[in-house]
Structures are given as C-alpha cells and as structure tokens.
C-alpha cells in the first residue's frame, strides 16, 4: 500500500470505529439549507451523478493485532466510509490520520463488531457502547496511556505515540 500524503483505497479494506453515526452530512452543500441524508447520497453515487473520489479524503489509520499480527485499517470518517461501502464504490480518497486526531477521537471508538458492521444511522450517539476486539484493545490502551502521560505536552504525546507504535504497530501521521 502507498502510504503517501493521500492515497486511494478500496473501502472494503477499512473498518468503522463507531456504533452509530449521524444520518446526514455535517454541513449542507453550498446553496442548500439542510445537509443531505446519507442514503440520498448513496443513491446519487449509485446512479453515477456523484463519485466517492469527489469527496475529500477520509482519514484512516492502521493497527496490528499483537496476538495474530493481522493489520486492520480503521476510519475516523465513518459517514464517508458508510457512503463508500453502501454504494459499493471500488475506491475512495484516503489519507493517514494524525496521531493527535486518533488520540482525540478515542471516545468515538464504540464499534461492538470490531468495525465490521455498518453503524446505525441515528441522531443519538451511542457513546456508551464499549468497543470489542482489536479496536476495543486499542481504545483501552490509549485511555490508559492518556491517564499515565500528559498528552498536552510534546514529551507526553511522543511517549504515547512511541508506545502505540511499539505495541500496535500503529500507522498514521505523527
């Protein structure tokens, strides 16, 4: 896989991090009052009126299971990944997430299927869900690291990053 600043990747190789997502994009398109529903965008993608490569890049990262050495890619942009998978897009624009983005979003890691199942479309977030599998291990590890090291300092952030790379072979932008 090309790990350059932006890459195109098969969405089927990427897992979800969340148990639920908002059913609409966060912002309306220019000239529109409301944000489009994700399923309406899937319909546009399916008819060819829009392509997944028209969307901005989806931030992704990978971790390796310490027991099996299986590498798993996860998305920080679950709505974009939902669109890509539901429309059976062969490719989508991706870029490596920064470590600060990964660390800042740990509270969103709520997938109870280790990222395999589609998230529920809901206005109510499912932040009480406890993630399972590799994603759950990674979230617990990061939360313990954040409790141990001051991630507001460069030294603390560097220590947590180094520990994540060592334990999970994390692939992201530093």
Does 1 reside within a domain? no
Q: Integer distance in angstroms from the first to the last C-alpha of the chain?
A: 18
Distance, in Å, from the CA atom of 150 to the CA atom of 1, rounded to the nearest integer, reads: 33
Does 41 reside within a domain? yes
Res. 6 pLDDT band, cuts 50 70 90: low
Distance, in Å, from the CA atom of 98 to the CA atom of 160, rounded to the nearest integer, reads: 13
Domain that holds residue 154: 7-168
Does 173 reside within a domain? no
Number of domains the chain is built from: 1
Does 174 reside within a domain? no
Strand order in the sheet with 14-15: 7-9, 92-96, 58-64, 71-75, 14-15
- pLDDT 10s digits, 37-90: 999 999 999 999 999 988 899 999 999 999 999 999 999 999 999 999 999 999
Does 156 reside within a domain? yes
């Amino acid at each position: 896989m090309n790990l350059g600043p932006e890459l195109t990747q098969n969405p089927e190789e990427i897992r979800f991090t969340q148990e639920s997502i908002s059913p609409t994009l966060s912002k309306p398109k220019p000239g529109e009052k409301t944000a489009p529903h994700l399923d309406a965008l899937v319909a546009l993608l399916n008819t060819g009126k829009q392509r997944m490569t028209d969307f901005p890049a989806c931030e992704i990262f990978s971790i390796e299971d310490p027991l099996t050495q299986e590498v798993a890619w996860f998305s920080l942009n679950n709505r974009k990944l939902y669109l890509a998978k539901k429309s059976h897009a062969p490719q989508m624009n991706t870029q490596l997430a920064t470590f600060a983005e990964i660390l800042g979003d740990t509270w969103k890691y709520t997938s109870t299927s280790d990222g395999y199942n589609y998230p529920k479309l809901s206005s109510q977030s499912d932040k009480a869900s406890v993630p399972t599998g590799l994603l759950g291990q990674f979230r617990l590890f990061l939360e313990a690291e954040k409790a141990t090291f001051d991630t507001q300092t460069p030294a603390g952030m560097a220590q947590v990053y180094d520990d994540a790379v060592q334990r999970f072979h994390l692939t992201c932008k530093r």
